[in-house]
Amino acid sequence: MKIFLTGVLTIVALALAVAGGKAVSAQDKQDRYALQIPGGLSFSEVRGYETWQVVGPSLTDAQNVIRVIVANPVMIKAYQDGVPANGKPFPDGSKIVKIEWKPKKLTDPPFSANTPDTVPGDLEQVEFIVKDSKKFPDTHGWGYAMFVYNTASGNFAPADLSSKPPVGHDAKCGAACHTLAAQKDYIFTAYPAR
């Protein structure tokens, strides 16, 4: 009887392990919008960013990433009205997201090894900045957050102190660097003509 029970338990355990494996391997099983930087911003601050309009693309050598920078309707409207070159700041409610991928080099025709097309490979991380002058008075009204994507598990996780830039338990991870863009209301990305 004991042997029988052990056998049944083993089978049940195996079945659960297989089911668990399947669930984990499925993409996007995770609710990314339930994630939060401890003491910082929740991913849900930028819910729906997948459908936002584009500010522009970029390719950053230091981090070896290719990016698309998107913004919510409030911020796109401000860009189109001429912010920040017109001297006005982005309004409260502005939200901007950097979607970062590892670059992938396409070398099949019409491209080649010498003249590749560089396109998004694996998703690497999602970074965002939101403006709320009342919530973030110490950082010129902007709050920062970053979530790292793991391709194998298909899950996002809050960035931490080992990430680039390091993310502490607050909403200030990008603030020090973005002071370099102080005259552009702390936002590096320009809105190019299209």
Partner 1 sequence: MRKILSALAASAAVALAVAGAIAASAQDKQDKYAVKVPGGLALSDFRGYEDWQAVGPSETDAQNVIRLIVANPVMIQAYREGVPGNGKPFPDGSKIAKIVWTPKKLTDPPFSASTPDTVPGTLSRLEFIEKDSKRFPDTHGWAYADFDYDAASGTLSPGTLADTPPQANDAKCGAACHTLAASKDYIFTAYAKR
Closest CB to partner 1 among residues 24, 180? 180
Cα 142 to Cα 126: distance, rounded to the nearest angstrom: 17
Q: Provide the minimum distance between the beta carbon of 36 and partner 1 in the complex, in angstroms, as a whole number.
A: 20
Cα 56 to Cα 191: distance, rounded to the nearest angstrom: 6
Residues forming contacts to partner 1 in the complex (CB under 8 A) are 49-54, 56-62, 66-68, 70, 99, 101, 108-112, 114-120, 123, 126, 177, 180, 188-190, 192-194
Using alpha carbons, select from 121, 122, 128 the residue that is nearest to residue 159: 128
Closest CB to partner 1 among residues 6, 60? 60
Map tokens 């996002």 to a residue: 156
* Cα distances (Å, whole numbers) of residue 15 to 23, 25, 26: 12, 15, 17
Query: The tokens of 109 are what?
Result: 């025709």
Q: Provide the minimum distance between the beta carbon of 58 and partner 1 in the complex, in angstroms, as a whole number.
A: 5
Query: The tokens of 121 are what?
Result: 């490979």
Closest CB to partner 1 among residues 38, 57? 57
* Helix/strand/coil for 89: coil
Report the half-sphere exposure of 78 (CA within 13 A, side-chain side). 23
Closest CB to partner 1 among residues 10, 150? 150
Q: Rg of the chain over CA atoms, in angstroms?
A: 21
Q: Provide the minimum distance between the beta carbon of 188 and partner 1 in the complex, in angstroms, as a whole number.
A: 8
Query: The tokens of 178 are what?
Result: 């973005």
Closest CB to partner 1 among residues 29, 169? 29
Closest CB to partner 1 among residues 3, 113? 113
